[in-house]
Chains A and B, each alone.
Chain A
Amino acid sequence: MDKSGPRHWLLLLAFALFVVFLYGPTLTIFILSFQGPDGGLTFPMRGVSLRWFENLFEPQMVGDFGGSLERSLSLALIVMGLTVLISLMAGLAFRRKFLGATALFYVTIAGLIVPSILISLGIGLMFNVAGLPPAWWSSALGAHLTWTLPFGVLIMFAVFNRFDHALEEAARDLGASPWQTLRYVVLPLIAPSLVGVGLFGFSLSYDEFSRTVMAAGSDNTLPLEVYAMTTNVTTPVLYALGSMTTLFSFAVVVTVTLTVLAMRRKRGAKLTG
């Protein structure tokens, strides 16, 4: 297509504006979280300080920041592990015919389409009717998996669609058992994608709010804690918390991306060298 002329530059400008729209607000609260001790929730900045970050780690901080952070991290790690394992197994299953494959596919997609409030309400009611107390490691874990697994399975679909089956046949011809083929041929090749599935599982769980609302039980996860803060905190400590969580999410994404790139490069070197 036409890649010069005013139309091209206008489109690039539109793209740049979108990026500003996407990141502008986050950047604003990042700046405002360094607000001076007398500053408020909006500009102007009244000096620059780390006061609100210190505030965050003081023991009398509103709510239970430390506890909710710990719970959210543990939950995200469990969700990550289960999402990788279950998506991989399902991805392997869907390469062949099995009874109920179509039904399972639609049920999995339904996890994306059914509104979060229904998942939350349904799981809450189910635990209520069964007489079980909801908790972050039971009901909230299940609620998160209904959100992360569809993404994981869809990624595995894309991965196995592009997978070269000749490699597996070669392994089989050389006498490898199915397990050996999976362990030494398939897994090393799809490892970067599995890391990607793990990243999705971790991040989506760590930030999940609407599915967790009724399913978390008495102890809040971090997003629930942040939401509770929005209604009763009117100082920039809210922004400090927001900046911390966002920085953490970015750090996770960047680390994982660099790991995947390193894995790809290593594999490339091995194949050519």
Chain B
Amino acid sequence: MTVTATAAPSGAAHSARVKLLTRLAPHLQALPLWLVMGVFLLIPIATIVMVSFWEDQEYTLAPGFILDNYRDVFGTFVTFSTYVSTLRYALIVWASTLAIGFTVAYVLAFHIRSTLWQMVLFQVCAVPFLTSNVIRMISWIPFLGRNGLLNSTLINLGITDHPLEFLLFSPFAVVLTFVHLYSLFMVVPIFNTMMRIDRSLIEAALDAGARPIEVMRHVIVPLSLPGIAIGTIFVVTLVMGDFVTVQMMSGGQSASVGLLIKNEISLLQYPEAAAHAVILLLTVLMMVWAILRVVDIRKEL
């Protein structure tokens, strides 16, 4: 890097060295990132694929090449029903976070007058991302529990005369917690794309006689699509791979693919867990690929 510090013997050799160093530099700068992602992402995934063909012998791993694990995965109805349950969670949570995220981003981008307030309120929406997910899950207990705030409010209002049991430890609690945890992943990318929409386009549409709803449908929504796609990728992949929210908030009554893998890991059935993991990874990659087919996000990157 210290080109000027080295004594230059002859002009041609010097400039050749400068050229070489300039071309080498970015490779060296990228090396640490390659190392980390290679050792802790690529090799682990390769290990999962490898182990998914291994044999499970009395809690020890036996290298080999068998398809039994995949036969087990596809051979039971449990796998199918677990995927249906997980996909249903993903769909409901996606729709809810999209509705909430789009509205919140829209208010932030178009209905907050001062730039200062816009930045402050954006931070307010983004900060919970930097706090603990486990604790944000726990914090629903006093709300949803049998003697929780929601139940006592409902009883006080006379809407119901006995506490509703389905609030905590139910699919409802799982969806609510997911929406609570992951709405941010929709708000942030959608807000970013909305801020880049040229305001004169909206003025033009209004001048041309478009009603607000038409401006929304023909200007704002199409131009926000890349942000929506990025948010969708985040939310869908997070829900598809989740195990802790489903385990904690459903009280063990609900299934998800991640939880299935987690349980197999706890039983030390690594090859089966690996086979499930490979199928999950392929499913998630296919979903991401499908989203990218619909929306071009390259402009956002």
Contacts and interface: CB of A to CB of B under 8 A. Distances in A.
Interface of A: 1-3, 7-8, 11-12, 14-15, 18-19, 21-26, 28-29, 32, 40-43, 82, 85-87, 89-90, 92-101, 104, 107-108, 110-119, 121-126, 128-129, 142-143, 145-146, 149, 153-154, 157, 175, 177-179, 199-200, 203-204, 206-207, 209-210, 213-214, 223, 226-227, 230, 238-239, 241-242, 245-246, 249-250, 252-253, 257
Given A28-B142, A125-B51, A125-B274, A107 B42 contact: yes
Interface in B30-51: 30, 32-34, 36-45, 47-48, 51
Interface in B182-236: 183, 202, 212, 215, 233-234
Interface residues of B, number: 89
Closest 5 CB pairs of A and B: A115-B241, A122-B44, A142-B40, A25-B139, A93-B29
A159 B284 CA distance: 30
Given A177-B2, A177-B3, A90 B277 contact: no
Nearest to A209: B134
B202 A214 contact: no
A121 B277 contact: yes
**Among the interface residues A40, A114, A200, which one has the most CB atoms of the partner chain B within 10 A?**
A114
Contacts of A214: 265
Query: Mostly helix, strand, loop or mixed at chain A's interface?
Result: helix
Interface of B: 1-5, 25-27, 29-30, 32-34, 36-45, 47-48, 51, 61, 100, 103-104, 106-108, 110-111, 113, 121, 123-125, 127-128, 130-136, 138-143, 145, 147-149, 152, 180, 183, 202, 212, 215, 233-234, 237-238, 240-244, 248, 258, 261-262, 265, 270, 273-274, 277, 280-281, 284-285, 288, 301
A145 B38 CA distance: 11
Given A12-B111, A129-B51, A210 B243 contact: yes
A46 to B, nearest CB: 13
A210 B244 contact: yes
B135 A226 contact: yes
A143 B40 contact: yes
Contact of A104 (B37, B136, B233, B244): B37
A34 to B, nearest CB: 13
Contacts of B234: 112
Contacts of B280: 115, 117-118
A138 to B, nearest CB: 10
B29 A92 contact: yes
A234 to B, nearest CB: 10
